[in-house]
Amino acid sequence: MKVDVLLGLQWGDEGKGKVVDVLTPQYDVISRFQGGPNAGHTLEFNGSKFVLHTIPSGIFQGDKVNVIGNGVVLDPAIFKKEIEKLETTGYDLTKKLLISKKAHLILPTHRLLDAAYEAAKGASKIGSTLKGIGPTYTDKVSRNGVRVGDILENFDAKYKAAVERHETILKQYNFEYNLAEVEKEWFEGLEVLKRFTFIDSEQFVNDALKGGRSVLAEGAQGTMLDIDFGSYPFVTSSNTVCAGACTGLGIAPNKIGDVFGIFKAYCTRVGSGPFPTELFDETGEELRQRGHEFGSTTGRARRCGWIDLVALKYAIMVNGVTKLIMMKSDVLDQFEVIKACVAYKVNGEETSVFPYSLDGEVEPIYSELPGWKTDMTKMQSEDEFPEEFNNYLAFLEEELEVPITIVSVGPDRDQTIERYTEEI
Ligand code: GDP
Ligand code: IMO
Ligand code: MG
């Protein structure tokens, strides 16, 4: 068996949570491979809505095993809140959620450091989610991190050593904080975390594959936020691309099966950094209102713009996407004209290749397509698609050279339409 990977192709919030939930019945194991509580993955079904931050989005469908992989960074305080919310709704996860011993812990001081670094950057801040993601991955790479497996052995000494180091840095930044306050909920979270089974997830996932069980790897953030390929430095601190599933789960590249690349029918970004197709006019506002574009994790208003095919092609290339999934088509239902950026003019020169830097003047060049002006939210099959919508899909497939196999027409699990069910 192979691992199929589902990941975002834009700047995050493409709708990964919804689609993982929809695809879960086809898999035995669902596993998150990177990121942490900077993610907010929204699922809606049977009139309920859940936002998951660390827990994989496969937990609502039957008894599938959900794994938090070694590439994830985990904050016990946030984990506790997630677990308790699910438990009060009647979901007991202790048996179906497994956690890698090699996943790194976000300590209370990592969160404080994140805030201190952002404050020091002033106007050039990243716009981080302030969840401690950057400092935790920094400690991992500099070989100073504290891992989930450390909870089982000599934890206090490791925790104290890390906190001492962090406090020295916080003092250098003249950052004011109350450690006792944040530590309280963190240690309460640690007790909740201890109720779960810690595993060698690379062993578990490979054994599952060997035993003929199928695995879906769930990405967080999006390709344009990848530490290597995103709009650096305005990125997150992990590899959000397909290769991140190999290092974040311990699977070999030849074990990767399908790569599902998920994108919105338009584009959003939250936090700072370049965004060539961003709209500052009433069209941008209309996208924000119609798409309810406010962050699932921070509540921040998302920046909105037209779809960017230059960036999308680049994302498809670095991920080896085999199937595309288009989300939030319904948000464009009432537009007269739909625009798609097919090239950039960078410092006066036209290019359809994603450039090294988007810092200078980048002017998007658009193709215009007629809108479909039809409510698609209740549609059940592609036979009902309006002609203009089919034309939009055909245009995108020709540009992107990958089939769009799923179209999402609303936030609910049921508002999902599969295409090419027989051919592919
Ligand atoms: P993720 O981080 O990629 O899982 O995405 P988020 O959950 O942060 O953001 C996606 C938002 O769009 C959520 O509020 C979803 O409920 C919502 N959503 C997902 N698919 C659709 C869709 O097809 N149409 C509409 N209108 N909303 C959608
Ligand atoms: P999901 O999984 C959208 C953005 C932040 C900021 C940058 C760095 O829900 O798609 P970080 O806290 O990671 O150091 O912030 O990355 N960011 C996201 N934007 N969706 C996310 O996750 C994000 N996770 C981080 O806004 O610009
Ligand atoms: Mg999100």
Helices (H), ranges, 358-417 = 387-400
Angle (CA) 112 103 255, round 5°: 140
Q: Among 4, 21, 28, 41, which one carries the catalytic annotation?
A: 41
Please, are residues 48 and 88 in contact by the beta-carbon 8 Å criterion? no
Q: Which of 183-192, 289-298, 319-328 has the lowest mean pLDDT?
A: 289-298
Q: Is 424 a residue whose pLDDT tops 70? A: no
Please, are residues 279 and 305 in contact by the beta-carbon 8 Å criterion? yes
110 is catalytic: no
The DSSP output letter for 33 is -
13 is catalytic: yes
Return the pLDDT at 423.
Answer: 64
Q: Is 216 a residue whose pLDDT tops 80? A: yes
295 vs 311, higher pLDDT: 311
297 vs 275, higher pLDDT: 275
Return the pLDDT at 120.
Answer: 96
Please, are residues 167 and 178 in contact by the beta-carbon 8 Å criterion? no
Q: Is 393 a residue whose pLDDT tops 70? A: yes
For the whole model, what pTM was predicted?
0.97
Q: Which of 170-174, 208-212, 357-361 has the lowest mean pLDDT?
A: 357-361
Q: What is the widest separation between alpha-carbon atoms in the chain?
A: 65
Over residues 74-90, the mean pLDDT reads 95
Return the pLDDT at 106.
Answer: 98
Q: Is 298 a residue whose pLDDT tops 80? A: no
Q: Is 227 in the pocket of ligand 2 (CB under 6 A)?
A: no
Q: Which ligand is nearest to the CA of 17?
A: 1
- The per-residue pLDDT of the chain, averaged, comes to 96
Q: Is 14 a residue whose pLDDT tops 90? A: yes
Q: Is 288 in the pocket of ligand 1 (CB under 6 A)?
A: no
Give all strands (DSSP E) within 178-313, no chain letters: 197-199, 215-218, 256-264, 267-269, 303-305, 307-308
* Closest residue by CA, ligand 1 atom 20: 411
pLDDT digits (tens, 9 = 90+) for 127-155: 999 999 999 999 999 999 999 999 999 99
Return the pLDDT at 27.
Answer: 98
Q: Which ligand is nearest to the CA of 302?
A: 2
